[in-house]
Amino acid sequence: MVQVVIVGCGIVGATIAYELSQNPELQIIVLDRAATPLEYRQPPAQASTGAALGVLMGIISQKKPKSRAWRLRQASMQRYETLIPELEARTGCQIPYNRHGILKLCFDAEEIPKWKKWIEVRRTQGLKLEWLTIDAVKERYPQIETDGLLGAVYSPDDRQVNPVILTQTLVEAATMAGVMFRFDATVTGIKISDSFPQVCQFLETTVGEFSADQFIIAAGLGSMSLTAALKQSVAVKPVLGQALHLKLPASACLPQPVVTGDDIHIVPVGDGECWLGATVEFPDEAGEVVADEKRLQGIWERSIEFCPMLSSAKILRQWSGLRPRPQGQAAPIIGYLEGYSNVLLATGHYRNGVLLAPATAGEICRILRNV
């Protein structure tokens, strides 16, 4: 048996744990930190994943067919179509998964020829994107204000998933397959060998030491201090996002796809409710990032301009979260930590961790198959 310890149980760590659990030769433990006070067990999906809107912008992303970014997106989109029914069948849980696609509103004339080119690129890949004229938008989505709108791109095969329920279901399915989860274990230190290449010997945690053959760091923003303990610097910085959960009056009927315009997503979640977000707020010079109420207000006002029915919505919940953004390298970071033969990184997913979790887990499985 090869022993594997995964640090972090957001969407990335949970997906890796589930996919690895299909290999009977692996013995897997997942550690996630305790909330304070230390005895308190923290449920999964509390950090970045707990704030995510779960929009899976795959086909509609303008990523070139031969790029790594596209390869990861394509692998994830394909796996999602099988992963969701597979998890539901194994656990009996229902995972909210919006199969109505994504509608992207275009307000900028310069974007139109670019979009028409992308529609053609995707067509040559055998993928569907549709250009909607103003009249087509009016007919299909009467809720959308067409004043100021130049057209829209409809992507029928892109998706949205509830990230918290998905993470919880992954944990349940992985547990059924023999994975052990500790939601009371904050990793506080790391013991490394003096040899070269270096080897991580064990993790020191608030509940004792954990040794393994392979360690996977899927700790989002926590990855930076863990790699520092391994005497390597992998910079992952926070970018804040704020979002709202809104309830519309009973008579209102939201469009079924996720509607996105000016980088604002309106995500229907059923029962006349939707999520709206998210702001993108960078840290100041001191590295501090504080939620700016005006930014949130700004996206709500803008969303009302293109979907006027939101003006009558009531706020049920307001939240914010921090996205883990790598510095000096492309998101996400997947692979061995430099200088180590038994520490893998699966982190820095920035704005697309939910989208890219299945592809990340696929890459980690592929790497570990050769161990």
Residues that bind ligand FAD (CB under 6 A): 7-13, 31-33, 46-49, 51-55, 186-187, 218-220, 222, 226, 241, 243, 277-278, 321-324, 347, 349-355
Judged by beta carbon, residue 77 or residue 144, the one nearer ligand FAD is: 77
Judged by beta carbon, residue 186 or residue 198, the one nearer ligand FAD is: 186
* Position 320, amino acid: S
Judged by beta carbon, residue 3 or residue 318, the one nearer ligand FAD is: 318
Minimum distance from CB of 344 to ligand FAD (Å)? 13
Strands (E), the chain: 2-7, 26-31, 55-56, 97-98, 102-106, 130-132, 151-155, 159-161, 180-182, 187-192, 200-205, 208-211, 214-217, 236-247, 258-261, 264-270, 273-277, 314-326, 333-336, 343-347
Is the N-terminal amide bond of 197 cis, ω within 30° of 0?
yes
Minimum distance from CB of 65 to ligand FAD (Å)? 20
Minimum distance from CB of 147 to ligand FAD (Å)? 27
Give helix then strand counts, H and E, for the chain: 9, 20
Judged by beta carbon, residue 51 or residue 259, the one nearer ligand FAD is: 51
* Position 220, amino acid: G
Judged by beta carbon, residue 242 or residue 342, the one nearer ligand FAD is: 242
Q: How far apart are CA 52 and CA 55, in angstroms?
A: 8
Q: How far apart are CA 85 and CA 90, in angstroms?
A: 9
Minimum distance from CB of 251 to ligand FAD (Å)? 28
Minimum distance from CB of 166 to ligand FAD (Å)? 11
Judged by beta carbon, residue 230 or residue 354, the one nearer ligand FAD is: 354
Minimum distance from CB of 129 to ligand FAD (Å)? 19
Q: Do 5 and 216 touch, CB atoms closer than 8 A?
A: yes
Packing angle, helices 163-176 and 68-91, rounded to 10: 60
